Amino acid sequence: MVVELYLDLLCQPCRSVYIFAKKNNIPFEFKHVELLKGEHLCEEFDKVNLLRKVPALRDGNFTLAESIAILLYLSRKFNTPDHWYPSDVQKRARVDEYLSWQHTAIRAQGCNFYRTKVLMPLLVGKPFPAERLERAVEDLKSTMKQFEEKFLQDKPFIVGSEISLADLMAIAELMQALGAGWDVFEGRPKLTEWRHRVEEAIGKELFREAHEVKRDGAKMFVDAPNETQRLTWC
Protein backbone atom coordinates (compact mmCIF):
# COMPACT_ATOMS: atom_id res chain seq x y z
CA MET A 1 0.00 0.00 0.00
CA VAL A 2 1.52 3.31 -1.06
CA VAL A 3 1.74 6.38 1.13
CA GLU A 4 -1.30 8.66 0.81
CA LEU A 5 -0.68 12.40 0.72
CA TYR A 6 -3.67 14.59 1.43
CA LEU A 7 -3.05 17.87 -0.37
CA ASP A 8 -4.50 21.04 -1.80
CA LEU A 9 -1.91 22.76 -3.97
CA LEU A 10 -3.44 26.15 -3.14
CA CYS A 11 -1.66 25.70 0.19
CA GLN A 12 2.06 26.41 0.43
CA PRO A 13 3.20 23.52 2.66
CA CYS A 14 1.25 21.14 0.39
CA ARG A 15 3.28 22.31 -2.59
CA SER A 16 6.53 21.70 -0.72
CA VAL A 17 5.45 18.15 0.15
CA TYR A 18 4.21 17.50 -3.40
CA ILE A 19 7.40 18.76 -5.03
CA PHE A 20 9.57 16.79 -2.60
CA ALA A 21 7.70 13.54 -3.23
CA LYS A 22 7.69 13.94 -7.02
CA LYS A 23 11.29 15.10 -7.24
CA ASN A 24 12.45 12.08 -5.27
CA ASN A 25 10.22 9.64 -7.17
CA ILE A 26 8.45 8.67 -3.96
CA PRO A 27 5.42 6.55 -4.86
CA PHE A 28 2.29 8.09 -3.39
CA GLU A 29 -1.42 8.46 -3.91
CA PHE A 30 -2.54 12.08 -4.31
CA LYS A 31 -5.67 12.59 -2.20
CA HIS A 32 -7.16 15.91 -3.19
CA VAL A 33 -8.67 17.85 -0.27
CA GLU A 34 -10.28 20.96 -1.73
CA LEU A 35 -10.10 23.64 0.93
CA LEU A 36 -12.42 26.04 -0.86
CA LYS A 37 -15.07 23.31 -0.81
CA GLY A 38 -14.51 22.68 2.90
CA GLU A 39 -13.37 19.11 2.31
CA HIS A 40 -10.92 19.40 5.21
CA LEU A 41 -13.88 19.79 7.55
CA CYS A 42 -15.55 16.48 6.81
CA GLU A 43 -15.66 13.49 9.14
CA GLU A 44 -13.73 11.31 6.70
CA PHE A 45 -10.74 13.63 6.80
CA ASP A 46 -10.88 13.74 10.63
CA LYS A 47 -9.67 10.15 10.62
CA VAL A 48 -6.53 11.31 8.83
CA ASN A 49 -5.95 14.58 10.63
CA LEU A 50 -7.93 15.71 13.68
CA LEU A 51 -6.41 19.16 13.28
CA ARG A 52 -8.33 19.44 9.98
CA LYS A 53 -5.41 20.81 8.03
CA VAL A 54 -3.42 19.91 4.96
CA PRO A 55 -0.95 18.51 4.21
CA ALA A 56 -1.50 15.20 5.94
CA LEU A 57 -0.01 11.76 5.39
CA ARG A 58 -1.30 8.24 5.85
CA ASP A 59 1.07 5.29 5.72
CA GLY A 60 -0.84 2.11 6.56
CA ASN A 61 -2.25 2.83 10.02
CA PHE A 62 0.13 5.67 10.65
CA THR A 63 -1.17 9.21 10.15
CA LEU A 64 0.89 12.39 10.33
CA ALA A 65 0.20 16.12 10.15
CA GLU A 66 2.52 19.16 9.73
CA SER A 67 4.54 19.61 6.54
CA ILE A 68 7.91 19.61 8.29
CA ALA A 69 7.18 16.33 10.04
CA ILE A 70 5.94 14.86 6.74
CA LEU A 71 9.00 16.03 4.77
CA LEU A 72 11.39 14.63 7.39
CA TYR A 73 9.44 11.34 7.60
CA LEU A 74 9.55 10.91 3.82
CA SER A 75 13.24 11.82 3.66
CA ARG A 76 14.08 9.12 6.22
CA LYS A 77 11.72 6.43 4.95
CA PHE A 78 12.81 6.83 1.34
CA ASN A 79 16.43 7.67 2.03
CA THR A 80 16.48 10.79 -0.11
CA PRO A 81 19.76 12.49 -1.19
CA ASP A 82 21.72 14.00 1.67
CA HIS A 83 21.49 17.64 0.57
CA TRP A 84 17.77 17.83 1.43
CA TYR A 85 18.54 17.34 5.14
CA PRO A 86 22.33 17.11 5.44
CA SER A 87 23.87 14.60 7.79
CA ASP A 88 26.56 17.15 8.66
CA VAL A 89 25.44 18.30 12.11
CA GLN A 90 25.97 22.02 11.60
CA LYS A 91 24.35 22.11 8.15
CA ARG A 92 21.42 20.12 9.50
CA ALA A 93 21.11 22.59 12.37
CA ARG A 94 20.87 25.42 9.81
CA VAL A 95 17.96 23.68 8.08
CA ASP A 96 16.28 23.12 11.48
CA GLU A 97 16.85 26.77 12.32
CA TYR A 98 15.14 28.00 9.16
CA LEU A 99 12.26 25.52 9.41
CA SER A 100 11.61 26.66 12.99
CA TRP A 101 11.90 30.41 12.34
CA GLN A 102 9.69 30.45 9.28
CA HIS A 103 6.48 29.44 11.14
CA THR A 104 6.07 32.83 12.76
CA ALA A 105 7.96 34.78 10.12
CA ILE A 106 7.76 34.19 6.34
CA ARG A 107 4.86 31.75 6.69
CA ALA A 108 2.90 33.90 9.13
CA GLN A 109 3.36 37.16 7.23
CA GLY A 110 2.86 35.46 3.87
CA CYS A 111 -0.40 33.87 5.02
CA ASN A 112 -1.56 37.11 6.57
CA PHE A 113 -0.95 38.98 3.33
CA TYR A 114 -2.73 36.33 1.26
CA ARG A 115 -5.64 36.20 3.67
CA THR A 116 -6.02 39.96 3.73
CA LYS A 117 -5.69 40.43 -0.01
CA VAL A 118 -7.50 37.39 -1.38
CA LEU A 119 -9.30 35.13 1.08
CA MET A 120 -11.17 37.46 3.39
CA PRO A 121 -12.48 39.67 0.57
CA LEU A 122 -13.76 36.45 -1.06
CA LEU A 123 -15.59 35.59 2.12
CA VAL A 124 -16.98 38.99 3.02
CA GLY A 125 -17.53 40.12 -0.55
CA LYS A 126 -15.48 43.29 -0.41
CA PRO A 127 -11.83 44.30 0.01
CA PHE A 128 -10.33 44.75 3.45
CA PRO A 129 -9.50 48.25 4.72
CA ALA A 130 -6.39 49.68 3.06
CA GLU A 131 -4.45 50.10 6.35
CA ARG A 132 -4.77 46.37 7.08
CA LEU A 133 -3.32 45.55 3.70
CA GLU A 134 -0.54 48.13 4.05
CA ARG A 135 0.45 46.67 7.40
CA ALA A 136 0.45 43.13 6.01
CA VAL A 137 2.68 44.29 3.16
CA GLU A 138 5.10 46.07 5.54
CA ASP A 139 5.31 43.03 7.81
CA LEU A 140 6.07 40.74 4.89
CA LYS A 141 8.68 43.15 3.50
CA SER A 142 10.37 43.31 6.90
CA THR A 143 10.44 39.50 7.17
CA MET A 144 11.85 39.14 3.66
CA LYS A 145 14.64 41.52 4.65
CA GLN A 146 15.50 39.26 7.60
CA PHE A 147 15.36 36.28 5.27
CA GLU A 148 17.86 37.83 2.89
CA GLU A 149 20.18 39.17 5.61
CA LYS A 150 20.20 36.31 8.07
CA PHE A 151 19.32 33.17 6.13
CA LEU A 152 20.28 33.66 2.51
CA GLN A 153 23.11 36.20 2.82
CA ASP A 154 25.40 35.74 -0.20
CA LYS A 155 25.03 32.01 -0.47
CA PRO A 156 23.51 30.19 -3.43
CA PHE A 157 21.05 28.42 -1.12
CA ILE A 158 20.04 28.77 2.53
CA VAL A 159 22.46 26.04 3.59
CA GLY A 160 25.53 26.24 1.41
CA SER A 161 25.76 25.21 -2.19
CA GLU A 162 22.81 22.83 -2.60
CA ILE A 163 19.05 23.01 -2.25
CA SER A 164 17.60 21.72 1.04
CA LEU A 165 14.18 21.43 2.70
CA ALA A 166 14.70 25.00 3.90
CA ASP A 167 14.73 26.43 0.34
CA LEU A 168 11.78 24.23 -0.62
CA MET A 169 9.60 25.55 2.21
CA ALA A 170 10.72 29.14 1.61
CA ILE A 171 9.99 29.21 -2.11
CA ALA A 172 6.45 27.87 -1.71
CA GLU A 173 5.66 30.55 0.86
CA LEU A 174 7.03 33.38 -1.31
CA MET A 175 5.14 32.13 -4.37
CA GLN A 176 1.90 32.56 -2.42
CA ALA A 177 2.29 36.33 -2.52
CA LEU A 178 2.53 36.09 -6.32
CA GLY A 179 -0.82 34.37 -6.34
CA ALA A 180 -2.19 37.33 -4.42
CA GLY A 181 -1.03 39.83 -7.00
CA TRP A 182 2.30 40.94 -5.60
CA ASP A 183 5.52 39.99 -7.33
CA VAL A 184 7.77 39.92 -4.26
CA PHE A 185 10.79 39.11 -6.39
CA GLU A 186 10.56 42.33 -8.42
CA GLY A 187 13.24 44.79 -7.33
CA ARG A 188 15.02 42.10 -5.33
CA PRO A 189 17.75 40.75 -7.60
CA LYS A 190 19.37 38.48 -4.97
CA LEU A 191 16.03 36.89 -4.13
CA THR A 192 15.21 36.53 -7.84
CA GLU A 193 18.50 34.75 -8.51
CA TRP A 194 17.89 32.43 -5.56
CA ARG A 195 14.40 31.70 -6.89
CA HIS A 196 15.81 30.72 -10.28
CA ARG A 197 18.39 28.47 -8.66
CA VAL A 198 15.71 26.76 -6.59
CA GLU A 199 13.48 26.31 -9.64
CA GLU A 200 16.38 24.81 -11.59
CA ALA A 201 17.26 22.46 -8.75
CA ILE A 202 13.64 21.30 -8.50
CA GLY A 203 13.17 21.22 -12.26
CA LYS A 204 11.19 23.92 -14.06
CA GLU A 205 8.46 21.55 -15.21
CA LEU A 206 7.75 20.15 -11.76
CA PHE A 207 7.86 23.62 -10.24
CA ARG A 208 5.32 24.88 -12.76
CA GLU A 209 3.12 21.85 -12.28
CA ALA A 210 3.00 22.38 -8.51
CA HIS A 211 2.17 26.04 -8.90
CA GLU A 212 -0.31 25.76 -11.74
CA VAL A 213 -3.32 25.86 -9.45
CA LYS A 214 -6.29 27.10 -11.37
CA ARG A 215 -9.00 29.31 -10.05
CA ASP A 216 -11.60 30.83 -12.28
CA GLY A 217 -9.56 29.72 -15.25
CA ALA A 218 -6.54 31.74 -14.15
CA LYS A 219 -3.34 29.98 -13.27
CA MET A 220 -2.71 31.38 -9.87
CA PHE A 221 0.97 31.24 -9.15
CA VAL A 222 2.81 30.54 -12.32
CA ASP A 223 3.14 33.95 -13.85
CA ALA A 224 3.23 37.37 -12.30
CA PRO A 225 -0.45 38.33 -12.21
CA ASN A 226 -1.77 40.75 -14.77
CA GLU A 227 -4.20 43.54 -14.02
CA THR A 228 -7.31 41.52 -14.89
CA GLN A 229 -6.31 38.69 -12.61
CA ARG A 230 -5.67 41.08 -9.76
CA LEU A 231 -9.11 42.54 -10.21
CA THR A 232 -10.73 39.12 -10.42
CA TRP A 233 -9.22 37.90 -7.17
CA CYS A 234 -9.71 41.04 -5.17
Partner 1 sequence: MVVELYLDLLSQPCRAVYIFAKKNNIPFEFKDVVLFKGQHMSEEFGKVNPLRKVPALKDEAFTLAENTAILLYLSRKFNTPDHWYPSDGQKRAKVDEYLSWQHTAIRAQGSKVFLIKALVPLLMDKPFPPEKLEGAIEELNSTLKQFEEKFLQGKLFIVGNEISLADLVALVELMQPVGAGYDVFEGSPKLAEWRHRVEEAIGKELFQQAHEAILNVKDMAAAAAQLDPQLKEKLKQLLQKNLK
Chain residues in the site for partner 1 (CB under 8 A): 50-51, 62, 64-70, 72-73, 76-77, 89-90, 92-94, 96-97, 99-101, 103-104, 108, 146, 149-150
Min separation Cβ 103 and partner 1, Å: 4
d(CA 74, CA 221): 26
**Is the Cβ of residue 114 or residue 207 nearer to partner 1 in the bound state?**
114
**Is the Cβ of residue 54 or residue 68 nearer to partner 1 in the bound state?**
68
Side-chain half-sphere CA neighbours of 149 within 13 A: 6
SS3 content of the chain, % helix, strand, coil (to 5): 60, 10, 30
Maximum pairwise Cα distance, the chain:
51
Min separation Cβ 99 and partner 1, Å: 8
Min separation Cβ 105 and partner 1, Å: 9
**Is the Cβ of residue 146 or residue 226 nearer to partner 1 in the bound state?**
146
Identify the sign of the CA torsion 47, 30, 199, 228.
negative
Is 167:95 a contact under the CB 8 Å cutoff?
no
**Is the Cβ of residue 67 or residue 229 nearer to partner 1 in the bound state?**
67
Min separation Cβ 12 and partner 1, Å: 14
Q: Is 114 exposed, middle or buried (0-12, 13-18, 19+ CB in 10 A)?
A: buried
